[in-house]
Amino acid sequence: MSPATVTSALLPGSTLGVMGGGQLGRMFVHAAQAMGYFTAVLDPDADSPAGRVSHHHIHSDYLDGDGLARLSKLADAITTEFENVPAQALASLAGDRPVAPGAQAVGIAQDRILEKAHFTRCAAASGVGCAPYAVIESAEQLAAVSPSLLPGILKTARMGYDGKGQQSVHSAAELARAWEATGRVPCVLEQRLPLAAECSVIVARSRDGQSVHFPVQRNLHKDGILAVTEVHEQVLDAGLARQAVAAAVSVADGLDYVGVLCIEFFVLADGSLVINEMAPRPHNSGHYTLDACDVSQFDLQVRTLAGLPLVAPRQHSPVIMLNLLGDLWFARGSNQQVEPPWDRVLALPGTHLHLYGKTEARRGRKMGHLNITGADVAQMRETAAQAASLLGLTDAAA
Residue 334, pLDDT above cutoff 90: no
Say if residue 370's pLDDT is above 80. Answer: yes
Within-domain flag for 127: no
| In a shared domain, residues 187 and 203 | no
Question: Does the annotation place 288 within a ligand binding site?
Answer: no
Instruction: Give the pLDDT band (50/70/90) at residue 224.
Output: confident
> Is position 52 within any domain?
yes
Q: Determine the pLDDT at residue 220.
A: 96
The residue from 99, 122, 142 where one domain ends is 99
Are 181 and 75 part of one and the same domain?
Answer: no
User: According to the annotation, is 166 in a ligand binding site?
Assistant: yes
Contact 235, 398 (CB under 8 A): yes
- Asked if the model's pLDDT at residue 6 lies above 90, the reply is no
- Do 238 and 382 share a domain, yes or no? yes
Q: Is 358 annotated as a binding residue?
A: no
Residue 116 annotated as part of some ligand binding site: no
Together in a domain, 185 and 261: no
Question: Does 398 have pLDDT greater than 70?
Answer: no
The answer to whether residue 113 is domain-embedded is no
- What pLDDT score does 271 carry? 93
62 is in an annotated binding site: no
Annotated binding-site residue? 112: yes
Is residue 161 part of an annotated ligand binding site?
A: yes
The CATH number of residue 91's host domain is: 3.40.50.20
325 is in an annotated binding site: no
- Count of structural domains, the chain: 3
pLDDT at 383: 97
163 has binding-site annotation = yes
Mean of pLDDT over the chain: 94
Any binding-site annotation on 51?
Answer: no
**68 and 159 together in one domain:** no
Q: What is the extent of the structural domain holding 46?
A: 15-99
Confidence of residue 3 (pLDDT cuts 50, 70, 90): low
Q: Say if residue 289 is in the same domain as residue 220.
A: yes
Nearest to 151 by CA among 134, 135, 175, 170: 170
- Give the pLDDT mean for 105-112: 95
Clarify whether residues 177 and 310 are in a common domain. no
Same domain, yes or no: 145 and 76: no
Same domain, 152 and 73: no
Mean pLDDT in residue range 90-104: 96
271 is in an annotated binding site: no
Annotated binding residue 165? yes
Any domain includes 104: no
- Consult the annotation and say whether 162 binds a ligand: yes
**1 band by pLDDT with thresholds 50, 70 and 90:** very low
The answer to the question of residue 355 being in a domain is yes
Q: What is the pLDDT of residue 395?
A: 61
Give per-residue pLDDT as tens, 234-261.
999 999 999 999 999 999 999 999 999 9
pLDDT tens digit sequence for 20-54: 999 999 999 999 999 999 999 999 999 999 999 99
Report, as an integer, the average pLDDT of 349-355. 98
